[in-house]
Amino acid sequence: MEEWLKITLCVSLFATFRDFRPVDSFYTSFLTSPAVNFTAEQVTKDIYPINSYATTSLVIVMFLVTDYVLYKPIVMLDAFSSIVMFLLVLEPITLFKAKLNMLFLGLTSACELAYMSYAYAKIRDRRLYQKMTGIVRGSNLLGKCLSATFAQIAVSFIHIEYGLLVYISLAGSCVAFFVTFFFPPVNSSIYFHPESPKTTKSKVNYNTFHNKNHKGIEPCFVEKSPKPVRVVLDQLYLELRDAYTNPYLLKFGVWFAFATGVYFQGSSEFRLEGRIHPVMVVHDYIVVSKKLQVLTYNDVLYLDLNERNPVDNKLYNGGVDALAFISGALSSYCIGFLKVDWKSASNFYFFIGSLLSCITLCICYVTTSLNLVYIMYIIFCFVFQSMNVVARSETAKHLKHDSFAFIFGVVFFISLVVSSAITYLFVQGTFIQIPVNVQFLLYGLINLGLAFWFFFQMCLEKCIVK
């Protein structure tokens, strides 16, 4: 088996078990159940916001530390913090432990960028990035699909208690942690542990040495040369400048910042009121913070529609999550193996994708049918995940140097700032509190803005060609 495929399969296995968390789909129900007995107000105002703010602050540390510790320890920390997170909500559960649980959830979310960055760092051939990204992202979504499916069956048909879902989620995190011990170590990194030829004593030129079209140097001819902090900071600045003065990378950065920020927030809206999947953002989530503004609050919309018409608007959150994740996994796998010249096709593809996202979210604003909202959510996830694979792989492929953790960390941080700002200003009502369906209109308009952004890029591209 080829080395790149071994690494991809290993990371994919980790991603699958990392997100096998059945309790995610019923986390709000768990916290408000008689066994725990928190009020809905405590959950939404005292507990959940800690996750969003913790992720936003910790991700800054993570994307800098990841390079220094050579990726693998942060991947292990990701799984370990998830284990601690579930241990904190084993009975008896106090408000303090529930808040601490959100802090570790924030740490897990902040560490999520590490396992994909690890795969980019270990696989030297950039021509494989699109395929690898599709496989790993698809595996991540497959884990979420299996988790949601299991949760829905367990609660609806087997009628198990929510507390047992915590133990099963804990088991998934333990398996993910075990898998990390089989990750081959990364021996060098661009900032703190660069490789330099032993036969050369001249200073390494940052702007040319780590050209990724270069095949790399055999281990026997290199040695690691730790760099002083000031030099590292200069390189971080140069890398950020090089990446975002490149129009091709800039457009993906803009999409990441706003589309992912909306994705984190929106999902929660779908679920918070639905009381079935609060923790679902990102990363993803336990996804609450990571999945969408849409992923974080879609429970809220679900429950709101259910309460208006409980007969016609029955809750099937776990099953819908499963369909959304499996459709996202399929789109990720397919995009990963699709041979397309994204240099010429990406603007059109992202224009259509952003426009479809806008339409699905705006329909959630106008409709009173929960079944239609479920359908729009599935379509939204399918479209978003396909664009996510393209944006990730093309960004990694065209970076001048191996600065994966740093660049992805920066855009992830910006997306979290966007998500947190929406939460602070509009969800918690600091500026103006808007109803949950109006929040989806806001998310749709943001995606419409992105569609115009890529339409402008298309027009600009045609003018340059002429």
Residues 246-270 have a mean pLDDT of 76
State pLDDT tens for residues 80-121: 999 999 999 988 888 899 999 999 998 998 888 889 889 988
Q: How confident is the model at residue 156 (pLDDT cuts 50, 70, 90)?
A: confident
When pLDDT is averaged across residues 352-376 and rounded to a whole number, the result is 90
**What does the pLDDT average to over 217-226?**
44
The 3-state DSSP class for residue 207 equals helix
For residue 296, what pLDDT is reported? 54
Class (C level, CATH) for 3-188+228-465: mainly alpha
Confidence (pLDDT) at 78? 95
- Does 92 sit behind a cis peptide bond, omega within 30 degrees of 0 on the bond before it? yes
The pLDDT of residue 311? 57
Q: Which of 215, 214, 194, 192 is nearest to 204 (CA)?
A: 194
Count of C-beta atoms within a 10 Å radius of residue 171: 15
pLDDT at site 276 = 33
Dump pLDDT digits (tens) for 403-451: 777 888 888 888 878 877 877 787 666 667 777 778 888 889 999 999 9
282 pLDDT more than 70? no
245 — pLDDT class (breaks 50, 70, 90): confident
Lowest mean pLDDT among 22-31, 254-263, 420-429: 420-429
> Each residue of 174-185: pLDDT tens digit?
999 999 999 998
Domain locations in the chain as residue ranges: 3-188+228-465
Compute the C-alpha angle 40/46/51, nearest 5°: 110
Hey, is 222 helix, strand or coil?
strand
Q: Which stretch of DSSP H or E encloses residue 292?
A: strand 292-292
pTM comes to 0.76
pLDDT at residue 180, rounded to an integer: 95
Contact present, 82 and 18 (Cβ < 8 Å): yes
Residue-wise pLDDT for 134-146, tens only, equals: 999 899 889 988 9
Rounded to whole angstroms, the Cα distance separating 291 from 459 reads: 32
Give yes or no for residue 267 having a pLDDT over 70. Answer: no
What's the pLDDT at 293? 55
Which pLDDT does position 72 carry in this prediction? Answer: 92
Q: Each residue of 298-336: pLDDT tens digit? A: 666 666 676 776 756 666 766 787 888 888 889 998 998
For residue 16, the model assigns a pLDDT of: 94
User: What share of the chain in percent tops pLDDT 90?
Assistant: 25
Radius of gyration for the alpha carbons in the chain, expressed in angstroms and rounded:
22
Higher pLDDT, 45 or 177: 177
